Amino acid sequence: MSKDDRKEPGYDLGSTETNGEYFDTITALVAADHEHEIKLRTMTWQKTACLLAGEQVCLAIMAQTWSLSVLGWVPGIITMVLCGFFFWVTSITMHKYIMKHPHIMDICDFGYHVFGQSKVAYIFSAFMMLANNILLIGFHVLTGAKVLNTLSDHSLCTAVFSIIVTIMGIVMSFPRTLQHVSLMSMFSSACMGIAVILFLVYAGIEKAPLYGYNGSYPTDGAVRTYAFPLPGTTWVACMNAVMNITFIWVPQILFPTFISEMERPQDFPKALAVLGVISAILFIAPSAIGFHYLGQYSTAPAFGSLGVVSYKKSSFGFVIVPTLIIGVIYANVTAKFLYTRILGKSRHSHSHTVLGWTVWVLIMVAIWVLGFVFAEIIPSMGDFLSLLSAAFDSFFGFIYFAVAYWQLNRGSLFSGLGRTANTLLNLLILMIGLFLLGPGLYAAVEAIISDYSGSVEPAFTCANMAI
């Protein structure tokens, strides 16, 4: 790596006298990795951008219309824009920190270093990552079963559909490098994009939506939109809508693993910029258009409000692809963590050995089976997404990165107007994380208690779960 590479604009790591040392370490790590039979550090920033888009362009986009229907135009759009801004700030902070500690392989290593090389922080981060990722895999198993239910008019027991999705997920998760998964991600993003476009076309040509949570059209009157929450909207509903928006903007739990498999991790901001543009367009524009046409009849996902069955099937059907592939991405990151803990630095961890592949397959099966179990026993995955946002995104989207900023700039937090403004911004980020962890978690738990107080589907149900 040349000296020019070490001094690229935009990569101020906060310690100019040792920047060269960090890049020398990265070069050494890449060289050591390329000596292995299974090479991990091979992704370009373009492939990383595809991987990021594949993880972010997901079904949760179609839940944002419901969030707008709860919050109204003004609080809803402001929340979306602020979440996008905080996503960029925290992601750049995370990247700067990792560039100073290039041995970081995942969010657990990140937590270990950020909190003063604390083993407690490492264990806590590991538990939170495993819980978050496996619950999300469960959510995608359930979503896949919903798609198959919808397309087939409930031709099989829902639990059977969940088993089918789980088996497909296991098979698709066999590739051990993220470079291979990034190829799937391009296809995933395209299919989700088609689903969104079809939904917007159908919502526009329909005379009126069919279904809303307050009754089928026109039970709740003519379709209308509004600037602020409607009278009677509860604080819990508003908090869940906010966390629903926050959830889609907080994928940083995977970023350290993505960066660790880049050949030039210093190029990560380029991939992040591509993701930022895609997210700003897809997270806001379809939601606003959907709210315009569905109004107070918006559901999550918005496909459920469509009145013509063929419209619903032809748009929602494309979601099966991103559902599986996003599950694969989370499974890959989770399996790598467990795989490394089991095999360590032995040759099996980076070579095509029988033991290495056996352990990889067994871990992958265990992850997807656990996801399947969660999908079957949780009564409302929608509310549990709010729980995930409050319990996990509070740490992995806000708190960890505010602490990382403090670690990067200790001793100069208020040295100059610009640094002072950044310090105050990161203090706000820390407060938002604590707010999500406190009142946000309370709101999510209240919603789950409300679910259990009503009619709850039994575990491993055969009931029709089509939208």
3-state SS record for the chain = CCHHHHCCCCCCCCCHHHHHHHHHHHHHHHHHHCCCCCCCCCECHHHHHHHHHHHHCCHHHHHHHHHHHHHCHHHHHHHHHHHHHHHHHHHHHHHHHHHHCCCCCCHHHHHHHHCCCCHHHHHHHHHHHHHHHHHHHHHHHHHHHHHHHHHHCCCCCHHHHHHHHHHHHHHHCCCCCHHHHHHHHHHHHHHHHHHHHHHHHHHHHCCCCCCCCCCCCCCCCCCCCCCCCCCCCCHHHHHHHHHHHHHHCCCCCCHHHHHHCECCHHHHHHHHHHHHHHHHHHHHHHHHHHHHHHHHHCCCCHHHHCCCHHHHHHHHHHHHHHHHHHHHHHHHHHHHHHHHHHHCCCHHHCCCCHHHHHHHHHHHHHHHHHHHHHHHHCCCHHHHHHHHHHHHHHHHHHHHHHHHHHHHCCCCCCCCHHHHHHHHHHHHHHHHHHHHHHHHHHHHHHHHHHHHHCCCCCCCCCCCCCC
Which of 92-106, 122-136, 338-352 is the least confident region?
A: 338-352
Whose tokens are 């708190």? That residue is 399
pLDDT at 458: 64
Contact 361, 335 (CB under 8 A): no
Q: Cα(209)–Cα(217) distance, rounded to whole angstroms?
A: 6
Mean pLDDT, rounded, for 395-422: 94
Q: Cα(418)–Cα(93) distance, rounded to whole angstroms?
A: 15
Whose tokens are 């290593």? That residue is 109
Residue 2's pLDDT band (boundaries 50, 70, 90)? very low
pLDDT in tens, 345-389: 788 778 889 999 999 999 999 999 999 998 888 756 666 667 777
Contact 55, 251 (CB under 8 A): yes
pLDDT in tens, 191-215: 999 999 999 999 999 999 988 988 8
Mean pLDDT, rounded, for 70-91: 96
Size of the chain in residues: 467
Q: Is the dihedral of CA 213, 219, 220, 224 positive or negative?
A: positive
pLDDT at 226: 97
Q: What is the distance between the terminal CA atoms of the chain, rounded to a whole angstrom?
A: 54
Taking CA atoms, 332 is separated from 4, 50, 175, in Å, by: 35, 16, 8
* Tokens, residue 38: 């299974």
Whose tokens are 């709860």? That residue is 70
pLDDT at 352: 85
Mean pLDDT, rounded, for 67-73: 96
Residue 453's pLDDT band (boundaries 50, 70, 90)? confident
pLDDT at 40: 83
pLDDT at 14: 39
Q: Cα(78)–Cα(85) distance, rounded to whole angstroms?
A: 11
- Which one is predicted more confidently, 400 or 449? 400
pLDDT at 455: 62
pLDDT in tens, 170-187: 999 998 888 888 888 989
Q: Cα(431)–Cα(426) distance, rounded to whole angstroms?
A: 9
Q: Cα(110)–Cα(108) distance, rounded to whole angstroms?
A: 5
Contact 143, 161 (CB under 8 A): no
> Is a pLDDT exceeding 90 seen at residue 314?
yes
* Tokens, residue 305: 């409000």
Q: Cα(67)–Cα(237) distance, rounded to whole angstroms?
A: 9
49 CB neighbour count, 10 Å cutoff: 23
> Is a pLDDT exceeding 60 seen at residue 306?
yes
Q: Cα(349)–Cα(342) distance, rounded to whole angstroms?
A: 9
Task: Report the amino acid identity of residue 386.
Answer: S
- Which domains does the chain possess? 42-453 (1.10.4160.10)
Q: Cα(293)–Cα(199) distance, rounded to whole angstroms?
A: 11
pLDDT at 383: 64
Q: In angstroms, how far is CA 257 from the centroid of its own chain?
A: 14
Residue 447's pLDDT band (boundaries 50, 70, 90)? confident
Whose tokens are 């290039």? That residue is 102
Contact 323, 250 (CB under 8 A): no
Tell me the average pLDDT of the chain.
Answer: 89
Mean pLDDT, rounded, for 137-158: 91
